Amino acid sequence: MLFAAIGLLIGGIDDLAIDLVYARHRLRRGSPPSLDDFPVCADGGRIAIFVAAWEEAEVIGPMLRTALARIDHPDYRIYVGTYPNDRATTLAVSKVAECDARVRPIIGDKAGPTTKADCLNTIWRALLRDEAAEGWTAKAVVLHDAEDVVHPAELRIFDALIGRHLAVQLPVHPLIDRRSRFVSGHYADEFAEAHGKTLVARQALGAGLPLAGVGCAIERTCLGRLADLRRNAPFDADSLTEDYELGLHIAALGGSGVFARVAEWPGGPPVSVRAYFPTRLEAAVRQKTRWMIGIALAGWDRVGWSRARDWRDHWMRMRDRRAPIAVLVLVAAYLALLVWAASAILHWTIGIAPHALSPAMGTLLTINSALLVWRLAVRAAFTWRAYGWRQACLSLPRAVVGNFIALVAAQRALFRYTAMLRGATPTWDKTAHIFPDDIERP
């Protein structure tokens, strides 16, 4: 019980510190800018959109048609990378490309699945060939997934901010599947807080900004510099979370990244990328496993730490990597709760009063209880802001669902990471995706 109590106290204070940084930032900066501050730029330069697709035949067609119908920008091209052994996805992309020259199908040489980063490198080399053959250079590269609902105005924001910054990240807004309010809904709660508060606080501290892999833009010249360092491969093909690492590598090169929360109108919701996340428990565990390996385990080895005296970056990277330790604390806490409940029932049954807690332990549990209530209230508040009060109420039981998924994913991540240390090749352990039926029409 003592281990769990101390672990929960440290985690609670850590989260509370982020809350205070965010509150200070909001008080000083006020409301975010709106789209009125980002007019369409007629000659801003061509933007290349990269979409890596493996077994995405069900969603890639609707995603591309939706993007083409909605994007408000005069000059862009969508590059879609597929695999030679995934004919269904390749055919779906080709059908859209036949009707619109802004879609560029790219079929890789390797059979899939490799990693998403490897597929992105194939797309990168195709972009270089197009630039050389046609005599133009992209202003920026935007990353999206095959299930993303692209916001019409996102390229306007990228156009305005790329140049001042080497990387730009928009918020991600998970869609909640009504058939899976708890599994898919827990992503909504987590992203509402992470992209509504945590990344804002991280940026306010001046720490390196990781990218989400969707709704993010990287300056073309910056990607070229990274490619020169990696044999013409700006994305690390051995990484399971190339997006997270990319943002930190850009910061290590001295480049600035920005998390852009831009309201659709003054006081309105932010311009964001929308997508359905896994709706089944097994799929959510697989996705969280990949994130935990790439960020908390392999990411520790691959990215390391920041400069020795850069305490802000050290703090943020420690938060990124605390998931395995947090899971151990959760296991200890749940076990302690079960043991305490069993002991209380046993003492009540035989009519003997249980041993009283020491004053120090009682104080510690009281503080942890207060921090837990505060944590759940903050999570509910950000969910309310993004999804309304009904989803805010559901965020409370969904916290337990999220903890359970994390517990199972941690065990799976440790086994897979151990296999990687023994030489296993990382592969694209993707999940099936769905695209919303009511958004495809413009």
Give pLDDT tens digits for 130-189. 999 999 999 999 999 999 999 999 999 999 999 999 999 999 999 999 999 999 999 999
Res. 437: pLDDT tops 80: no
Same domain, 32 and 55: yes
Q: Is the pLDDT of residue 442 over 60?
A: no
Q: For the whole prediction, is pTM greater than 0.85?
A: yes
Residue 247 or 44, more confident: 247
> Taking 90 as the threshold, does the pLDDT of residue 298 lie above it?
no
Q: Do residues 127 and 266 both lie within one domain?
A: yes
Q: Are residues 167 and 138 in the same domain?
A: yes
The answer to whether residue 300 scores a pLDDT higher than 90 is no
Tens digits of residue pLDDT in 80-126 = 999 999 999 999 999 999 999 999 999 999 998 999 999 999 999 99
Does any domain span residue 435? no
| % of the chain surpassing 70 pLDDT | 98
The answer to whether residue 427 is domain-embedded is: no
Number of domains in the chain: 2
Query: Domain check: are 221 and 353 in the same one?
Result: no
Give the domain-ending residue among 311, 331, 348.
311
Residue with tokens 């990696």: 230
Answer yes or no: is 428 within a domain: no
**Same domain, yes or no: 306 and 331:** no
Torsions phi, psi of 83, nearest 5?
Answer: -120, 150
Q: Which residues contact 313 (CB under 8 A, 6 or more apart)?
A: 207, 208, 251, 305, 306, 307
Average the pLDDT over 55-73 and give the result: 96
Q: Give per-residue pLDDT as tens, 269-287.
A: 999 999 999 999 999 999 9
Measured CA distances, 96 to 10, 63, 70, 291, 419 (Å): 52, 10, 15, 31, 40
Distance, CA of 337 to CA of 356 (rounded, Å): 15
Cα separation of 145 and 154, whole Å? 15
Quick one: what percent of the chain has pLDDT higher than 90? 69
pLDDT tens for 367-403 read 999 999 999 999 999 999 999 999 999 999 999 999 9
pLDDT at 210 over 80: yes
CATH code, domain with 305? 3.90.550.10
**One domain for residues 111 and 196:** yes
- Check whether residue 370 and residue 263 sit in a common domain: no
Q: Do 38 and 171 have their domain in common? A: yes
Report pLDDT for 441. 41
Same-domain pairing of 50 and 152:
yes
Same structural domain, 229 and 263: yes
Residue 304 and residue 366 in one domain: no
Q: Which domain holds residue 162?
A: 23-311
pLDDT at 420: 84
CA dihedral 124, 95, 59, 412 (to 10 degrees): -50
Q: CB of 211 within 8 A of CB of 167?
A: yes
The 10 Å CB-count burial string (b at 16+, else e) for 257-287 is bbbbbbbbeeeeebbbbbbbbbbeeebbbbb
Is residue 362 a part of any domain in this protein? Answer: yes
Of 114, 139, 133, 124, nearest in space to 232 by CA: 124
List the one residue out of 26, 31, 236, 271 whose CA is nearest residue 159: 271
Query: Would you state the pLDDT for residue 438?
Result: 64
Do residues 147 and 7 share a domain? no
> Which residue in 1, 337, 399 sits closest to 9, CA to CA?
1
CA atoms within 13 A on the CB side of 330: 19
- Across the strands, what pairs with 144? 51
Beta bridge partners of 267: none
